[in-house]
Chains A and B, each alone.
Chain A
Amino acid sequence: MAEKPTDEEILAGLAEIVEEVAGVEADEVTAEKSFVDDLDIDSLSMVEIAVQAEDRFEVKIPDAELANLKTVGDAVTYVSKNA
């Protein structure tokens, strides 16, 4: 990605990824949602989401970081800071 994406673009991209990986409708993927408690995403699906997000946003999301990304908003912030 040539230009740094906006938070809205990151959220929309994550929503598409979550829909593909976990079958959660993209509309449901909003910033305040918890991956585990609200979207019912398990630890292995989080890895798949991270791998796809890395490709899409040209960012590194180490496994050790995944536990800190509790909400969709946390992930948007992380990608925004590190992309």
Chain B
Amino acid sequence: MTALRIATGVPGTRILGIGSAQPENVVTNDDLSKIMDTNDEWIRERVGIVERRFAGEKDTVVSMAVEAGSKAIAAAGLTPADLDTVIVANCTTIAPIPNAAAQVADLIGIKAAGGFDLNAACAGFCYALGVASDLVRSGSSKRALVIGSEKLSDIVDPTDRSTAIIFADAAGAAVVGPSDEPGIGPVAWGTAGDLVDMIGMTEERNIYQEGQSVFRWATTKIAPIAMQALDLAGLKPSDIDVLIPHQANLRIVEAIAKKLRKEGAREDMVVADDIVTSGNTSSASVPMAMDHMRAAGRIHSGDVALLIGFGAGLSYAGQVVVCP
């Protein structure tokens, strides 16, 4: 038989633009202490969070994804017609059909987009970025919109101080397109199946986690995954300008940074700490942290950033990217 024709790929991919969206409603630690047994000092010491945003009635996974995605397209200097693929990483939509990606594509105006949702919990954005990069590199997509959007307030028991103080709502997005010089490294991903029950949902559809076990895993196993992502990209720890771990808990972020510095990462490496004012927003946290740091002038175009997501599954994914 005749050999099948395959798509013509491109030499590399890069992030062309990023954007993020948060609800207006700011909730401080003092606000939370009025409805549960906690206080500002306790929360700051345990997780490093000072305030977070909770969705209002009009805010949904889709609406926040549309806002973040639209900003990312504009930041890339593109229009919706320039894109053909939408991936929405999320684990908090209440109705699985229609999927969020199809709704987002329709609302933004990306016609006939290939669209699907991807659930790898808090690692979702880095998983989706890896998939999108490979779709573009192989020629299956010309440009892809990758979004992490979460409304965790829908799946948190508001009186449970072990989760309600941590999780929050937001979206972050990136446009991935072709590049002669590679600007997105290979993804290092996987799951730790023996820890599959460490984070999950109760019968009442509320999130739970085994805090100590997850903390142990994140503070000991994630830095080696980050090293693997660096190695796949052919870089050394000293090459990292910016470290953007999933914003799970400031103490986990600091532990990962400390381990990487022991491996040779620079003291002046910028470390994302967006959790302080945004809380833990699952798959939205990595792109939103990057967007906030860019807006604050803490990272610049061309900086080498190491992204690493980790969460329920337990799942993890990391890659090196060049900041747009």
Chain B residues numbered 197-228 whose CB sits less than 8 Å from any CB in chain A: 210-213, 215-216, 219-220
With A44-B211, A47-B215, A51-B216 given, can you name 19 additional A-B contacts, CB distance below 8 Å?
Answer: A42-B46, A43-B211, A43-B212, A44-B46, A44-B212, A44-B215, A44-B251, A46-B212, A47-B212, A47-B216, A47-B219, A48-B219, A48-B255, A50-B216, A51-B219, A51-B220, A63-B210, A63-B212, A63-B213
Q: Classify the secondary structure of A's interface with B.
A: helix
B interface residues, how many (CB within 8 angstroms)? 13
Kindly state the separation between the CA atoms of A65 and B46 in the bound complex, as whole angstroms. Answer: 21
> B residues near A, CB below 8 A?
45-46, 210-213, 215-216, 219-220, 249, 251, 255
Is A66 among interface residues, defined by CB-CB distance under 8 A? yes
Q: Which are the 9 A-B pairs with shortest beta-carbon distances?
A: A63-B212, A47-B216, A63-B213, A47-B212, A47-B215, A44-B215, A43-B212, A51-B220, A44-B251
Residues on the B chain within 8 Å of A43, using CB? 211-212
User: Please, which residues of chain B bring their CB within 8 A of the CB of A47?
Assistant: 212, 215-216, 219
Q: How far is the CB of A40 from chain B (nearest CB, A)?
A: 10
Number of chain A residues whose Cβ lies closer than 8 Å to a Cβ of chain B: 10
- On A, residues with C-beta under 8 Å from B are 42-44, 46-48, 50-51, 63, 66
Cross-chain contact A66 with B46 (CB below 8 angstroms): no
Known contacts A43-B211, A44-B211, A44-B251; is-contact A63 B216 (Cβ 8 Å): yes
CA gap between A12 and B216 in the complex, in Å = 23
Chain B residues whose CB sits within 8 angstroms of the CB of A63 once the complex forms: 210, 212-213, 216
Residue contact A66 to B212, C-beta cutoff 8 Å:
yes
